[in-house]
């Protein structure tokens, strides 16, 4: 027992040293402590991981700055920004309605592509816009009608708070403010991209939609309207189900808030972190 | 009065004062919990009033069209019938499976098992009660759901999976309380029955279970109380859908799982409608508690 404790202690000491060395190494070139003060951030759960990662790295570079990041969903982020509860509102959708009153400044931080995925055992490889709409609104409830096996369709969608769902409803289901379209009441609602992938990956007759960065070999991406989801086609607009991820501020950002957003847009962060799941903002040419 | 006696009197006075203080402290504790329950009830009632007033009882409680609108809550529909149905269906079917299982286990512990084995079973069931619901839910998600999917060709998510998860959650309550009830029966009952030449099974079936009927019923109702409020485990396996369904293989939601799925983004009447769901849940739980009171009063007579 005693030796195990000792070695645990040694590991702890070593880890602490390693972290300290790393932090010192990071801090050195960047004029330590250029920004100070507290930055409060909330909003989209899609943006949350990016925002959090940026906060951690930003605080390591600027020890006197403090960035607090919370989720809650795009609408919550924008609402809290307007109520001056937070300094930055993360959003996975554009401003709408009352939100768009000219006081908020948009910072596009990444580009996201929504991919339609099915279980790998499903022989269906391509779906048209109409087919996708019919499937997700419940008009088509059997795979047979779109060239698949005679099996019930299980739709997997995101929760009400999700910006991904909002964009999907708008682009794939042609939902508008006047004629809102909803996915079928029998759809499974999930709180994250990861859960959608898990359920589609383990349920034979399932179909769902997830962010481009989440696609892996557990699920099969299908072409949408004859176009395969890809960075090239999404950034030119040929693949329609794509969107920007945003950080909004009240007016032009200043001080630590500006420092934080500049950091998110900086080349190293975009290349190393953003591009793991999304498309770097510089690589996008659409709109 | 001697100095000694006076001293003793003072000490006694201090002791009395402390006695009194402890009494007040305990009274404060008791009233705090009563106060908390009342405040919760009033708060939930107040928060759900806007939805009840705006939508009316019919559109809120008797409609199964739940289509919230996040950006413009007024434009959505908030009928919760599908989730009331989901809660009642999953809880009742869980009891349909859980009650015989739990009472059976209790009879085994009380009547058939040798003491050492009874002890093992009892400890095992106590352990089961201590497992956090998220773990039971995860177990349901990774084992139960694929199993049901393979067996039935459905998605696997749905009321059947939820009910089975709830059986696991309610079983410890039912078993422990049923075993307690059986143990508290007067031994003469069993002795008389055996003396009349009844077999063990006849004794259990014809004498002990009827005699313990009220206690067993209370055990099942308390198990229901556990099942009706369960959120996490149910949300993981029920499929979080919005449809009204009576098929055990179809996806739907319970009141609890719908509240947790939707509460993140809810504002205005949407939020209020979620509180109205909480109100229904609270009333269902109260009905259970009141029925326990009624049953135990009957037992005393």
The secondary element (H helix, E strand) that includes residue A204 is none
pLDDT over 80 (residue A14): no
Instruction: For residue A69, list its beta bridge partners.
Output: A41
Query: Closest residue of A to B267, CA-based?
Result: A76
Instruction: Compute CA distances B266 → A7, B69, B202, whole Å.
Output: 50, 9, 57
**Minimal C-alpha gap between A7 and chain B (Å):** 32
B169 occurs within a structural domain: yes
Instruction: Tell how far CA B33 is from the center of its chain.
Output: 19
Nearest by CB: B71 against A72, A96, A187: A96
B17 occurs within a structural domain: no
Q: Mean pLDDT over residues B15-42, rounded?
A: 89
Cα gap A117→A206, rounded to integer Å: 9
Please name the residues in contact with B92: beta carbons below 8 A apart, sequence gap of 6 or more: none
**What residues of chain B lie within 8 A of the CB of A203, using their CB?**
149, 155-157
**Minimal C-alpha gap between B72 and chain A (Å):** 9
Q: Mean pLDDT over residues B211-236, rounded?
A: 93
The CATH architecture that domain A8-111+243-283 belongs to is 3-Layer(aba) Sandwich (3.40)
The pLDDT of residue B156 is: 92
**Minimal C-alpha gap between A79 and chain B (Å):** 11
**Minimal C-alpha gap between B93 and chain A (Å):** 21
**What residues of chain A lie within 8 A of the CB of B156, using their CB?**
203
Q: Are A136 and A187 in contact (CB under 8 A)?
A: yes
| Lowest mean pLDDT across A25-29, A100-104, A220-224 | A25-29
Query: Closest residue of A to B157, CA-based?
Result: A188
Q: Mean pLDDT over residues A112-136, rounded?
A: 94
**What residues of chain B lie within 8 A of the CB of A184, using their CB?**
243
Query: Closest residue of A to B71, CA-based?
Result: A75
Query: Closest residue of A to B258, CA-based?
Result: A189
Q: Which two tokens stand for residue A45?
A: 């759960």
Nearest by CB: A203 against B67, B69, B155: B155
For chain A, give the percent of residues with pLDDT over 90: 53
Please name the residues in contact with A16: beta carbons below 8 A apart, sequence gap of 6 or more: none
pLDDT over 70 (residue B227): yes
B140 occurs within a structural domain: yes
Judged by CB atoms closer than 8 Å, whether chains meet at A160 and B262 is answered as: yes
Q: Mean pLDDT over residues B260-283, rounded?
A: 90
**What residues of chain A lie within 8 A of the CB of B72, using their CB?**
97, 177
pLDDT over 90 (residue B7): no
Q: Mean pLDDT over residues A136-163, rounded?
A: 90
Cα gap A201→A108, rounded to integer Å: 31
Q: What's the pLDDT tens digit per position in A38-95? A: 999 998 877 888 899 999 999 999 999 999 998 877 888 999 999 999 999 999 888 8
Backbone torsions φ then ψ of A41, nearest 5 degrees: -130, 140
Q: Judge residue B294's burial from the number of C-beta atoms within 10 Å of its C-beta, 0-12 exposed, 13-18 middle, 19 or more buried.
A: exposed
Instruction: Compute CA distances A259 → A84, A137, A252, whole Å.
Output: 19, 44, 12
B125 occurs within a structural domain: yes
The pLDDT of residue A25 is: 46
**What residues of chain A lie within 8 A of the CB of B154, using their CB?**
152
Cα gap B271→B76, rounded to integer Å: 11
**What residues of chain B lie within 8 A of the CB of A191, using their CB?**
261
Nearest by CB: B265 against A152, A160, A184: A160
The pLDDT of residue A30 is: 46
- Indicate the angle between helix axes B81-107 and B213-229, nearest 10 degrees: 140
Cα gap B245→B289, rounded to integer Å: 27
User: If DSSP states are collapsed to H, E and C, what string results for chain B?
Assistant: CCHHHHHHHHHHHHHHHHHHHHHHHHHHHHHHHHHHHHHHHHHHHHHHHHHHHHHHHHHHHCCCCEECCCCCHHHCEECCHHHHHHHHHHHHHHHHHHHHHHHHHHHHHHHHCCHHHHHHHHHHHHHHHHCCHHHHHHHHHHHHHHHHHHHHCCCCCCHHHHHHHHHHHHHHHHHHHHHHHHHCCCHHHHHHHHHCCCCHHHHHHHHHHHHCHHHHHHHHHHHHHHHHHCCHHHHHHCCCCCCCCCCCCCCCCCHHHHHHHHHHHCCHHHHHHHHHHHHHHHHHHHHHHHHHHHHHHHHHC
A4 band by pLDDT with thresholds 50, 70 and 90: very low
Pick the CATH number of A113-235 from 3.10.20.70, 3.30.420.40, 3.90.1150.10, 3.40.190.10: 3.40.190.10
Judged by CB atoms closer than 8 Å, whether chains meet at B70 and A188 is answered as: no
Chain B positions touching chain A (beta carbons under 8 Å): 66-72, 75, 82, 145-146, 149, 153-157, 239-243, 245, 250-251, 261-262, 264-267
More confident of the two residues A181 and A287:
A181
Q: Mean pLDDT over residues A117-133, rounded?
A: 95
Judged by CB atoms closer than 8 Å, whether chains meet at A151 and B153 is answered as: yes
The highest-confidence range among A95-109, A196-210, B259-273, by mean pLDDT, is A196-210
Cα gap A240→A252, rounded to integer Å: 30
Mean predicted lDDT score pLDDT of chain A: 85
**What residues of chain A lie within 8 A of the CB of B250, using their CB?**
186
Q: Mean pLDDT over residues B270-291, rounded?
A: 94
Torsion region of B251: left, alpha or beta (phi above 0 gives left; psi -120 to 50 gives alpha): beta
The pLDDT of residue A159 is: 86
Instruction: Tabulate helix, strand, coil % of chain A (nearest 5).
Output: 40, 25, 35
B33 occurs within a structural domain: no
B235 occurs within a structural domain: yes
The highest-confidence range among A28-32, A154-158, B3-7, B201-205, by mean pLDDT, is A154-158
Look at chain B and report how many structural domains it folds into. 1
Query: Closest residue of B to A45, CA-based?
Result: B264
Query: Closest residue of A to B73, CA-based?
Result: A160
Instruction: Compute CA distances B54 → A21, A180, B65, B77, whole Å.
Output: 61, 21, 16, 11
A250 band by pLDDT with thresholds 50, 70 and 90: very high
The pLDDT of residue A203 is: 92
**What residues of chain B lie within 8 A of the CB of A186, using their CB?**
241-243, 245, 250-251
For chain B, give the percent of residues with pLDDT over 70: 94
Judged by CB atoms closer than 8 Å, whether chains meet at A97 and B153 is answered as: no
Judged by CB atoms closer than 8 Å, whether chains meet at B265 and A186 is answered as: no
The pLDDT of residue A277 is: 73
CATH of the domain at B255: 1.10.3720.10
Q: What's the pLDDT tens digit per position in A96-109? A: 877 888 889 999 99
Q: What's the pLDDT tens digit per position in A268-281? A: 999 888 877 788 88
Please name the residues in contact with A89: beta carbons below 8 A apart, sequence gap of 6 or more: A41, A42, A43, A77, A78, A79, A80, A81, A82, A104, A247, A248, A249
Judged by CB atoms closer than 8 Å, whether chains meet at B240 and A189 is answered as: yes
Judged by CB atoms closer than 8 Å, whether chains meet at B243 and A97 is answered as: no
If you search the block for the tokens 């892996």, which residue do you land on? Answer: A216
B165 occurs within a structural domain: yes
Q: Mean pLDDT over residues B107-129, rounded?
A: 91
The pLDDT of residue A12 is: 55
**Domain limits, CATH 3.40.190.10, in chain A:** 8-111+243-283, 113-235
The closest of B99, B65, B30, B122 to B243, measured between CA atoms, is B65
Please name the residues in contact with A201: beta carbons below 8 A apart, sequence gap of 6 or more: A119, A120, A218, A219
B183 occurs within a structural domain: yes
Q: Are A163 and A93 in contact (CB under 8 A)?
A: yes
Range of the domain at B157: 77-300
**What residues of chain A lie within 8 A of the CB of B71, using their CB?**
75, 96-97
Q: Mean pLDDT over residues B236-243, rounded?
A: 94
B256 band by pLDDT with thresholds 50, 70 and 90: very high
Cα gap B49→B276, rounded to integer Å: 8
The pLDDT of residue A101 is: 82
Angle at B164 between CA B163 and CA B170, to 5 degrees: 85
**Minimal C-alpha gap between B241 and chain A (Å):** 5
pLDDT over 50 (residue A29): no
The pLDDT of residue A66 is: 93
């Amino acid at each position: 027992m005693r030796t195990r404790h000792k070695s645990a202690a040694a590991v702890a000491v070593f880890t602490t040293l390693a972290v300290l060395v790393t932090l010192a190494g990071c801090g050195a070139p960047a004029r330590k402590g250029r920004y100070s003060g507290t930055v409060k951030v909330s909003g989209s759960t899609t943006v949350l991981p990016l925002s959090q990662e940026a906060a951690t790295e930003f605080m390591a570079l600027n020890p006197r700055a403090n960035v607090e990041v919370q989720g809650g969903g795009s609408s919550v982020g924008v609402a809290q920004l307007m109520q001056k509860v937070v300094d930055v509102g993360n959003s996975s959708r554009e401003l709408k309605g009352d939100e768009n009153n000219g006081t908020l400044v948009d910072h596009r931080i990444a580009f996201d592509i929504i991919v339609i995925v099915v279980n790998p055992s499903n022989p269906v490889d391509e779906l048209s816009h109409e087919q996708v709409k019919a499937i997700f609104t419940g008009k088509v409830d059997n795979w047979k009608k779109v060239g698949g096996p005679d099996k019930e369709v299980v739709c997997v969608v995101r929760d009400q708070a999700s910006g991904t769902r909002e964009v999907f409803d708008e682009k794939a289901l042609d939902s508008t403010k006047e004629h809102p379209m909803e996915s079928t009441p029998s759809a499974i609602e999930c709180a994250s991209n990861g859960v959608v992938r898990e359920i589609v990956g383990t349920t034979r007759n399932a179909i769902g939609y997830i962010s481009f960065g989440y696609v892996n070999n557990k699920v099969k991406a299908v072409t949408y309207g004859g176009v395969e989801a890809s960075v090239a086609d999404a950034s030119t607009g040929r693949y329609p189900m794509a969107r920007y991820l945003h950080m909004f501020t009240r007016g032009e950002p200043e001080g630590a808030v500006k420092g934080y957003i500049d950091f998110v847009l900086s080349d190293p962060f975009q290349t190393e972190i953003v591009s793991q799941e999304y498309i770097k903002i510089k690589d996008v040419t659409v709109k | 009065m001697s100095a000694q006696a006076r001293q003793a009197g003072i000490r006694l006075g201090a002791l009395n004062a402390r006695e009194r203080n402890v009494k007040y402290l305990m009274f404060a504790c008791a009233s705090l919990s009563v106060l908390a329950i009342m405040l919760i009830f009033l708060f939930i009632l107040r928060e759900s009033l806007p939805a009840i007033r705006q939508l009316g009882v019919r559109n809120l409680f008797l409609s199964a069209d739940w289509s919230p609108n996040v950006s413009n809550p007024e434009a959505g529909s908030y009928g919760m019938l599908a989730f009331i149905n989901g809660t009642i269906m999953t809880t009742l079917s869980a009891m349909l499976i859980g009650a015989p299982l739990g009472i059976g286990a209790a009879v085994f512990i009380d009547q058939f098992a040798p003491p050492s084995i009874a002890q093992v079973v009892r400890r095992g069931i106590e352990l089961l009660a201590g497992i956090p619901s998220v773990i039971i839910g995860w177990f349901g998600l990774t084992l139960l759901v694929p199993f049901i999917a393979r067996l039935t060709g459905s998605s696997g998510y749905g009321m059947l999976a939820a009910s089975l998860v709830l059986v696991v959650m309610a079983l410890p309550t039912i078993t422990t309380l049923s075993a307690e009830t059986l143990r508290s029966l007067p031994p003469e009952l069993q002795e008389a029955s055996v003396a009349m030449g009844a077999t063990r099974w006849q004794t259990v079936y014809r004498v002990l279970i009827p005699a313990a009927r009220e206690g067993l019923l209370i055990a099942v109702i308390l198990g229901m109380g556990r099942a009706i409020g369960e959120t996490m485990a149910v949300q993981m396996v029920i499929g979080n859908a919005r449809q009204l369904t009576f098929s055990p293989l179809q996806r739907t939601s319970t009141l609890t799982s719908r509240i947790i799925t939707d509460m993140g983004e809810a504002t205005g009447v949407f939020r209020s409608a979620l509180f109205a769901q909480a109100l229904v849940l609270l009333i269902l739980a109260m009905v259970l508690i009141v029925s326990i009171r009624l049953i135990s009063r009957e037992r005393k007579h």
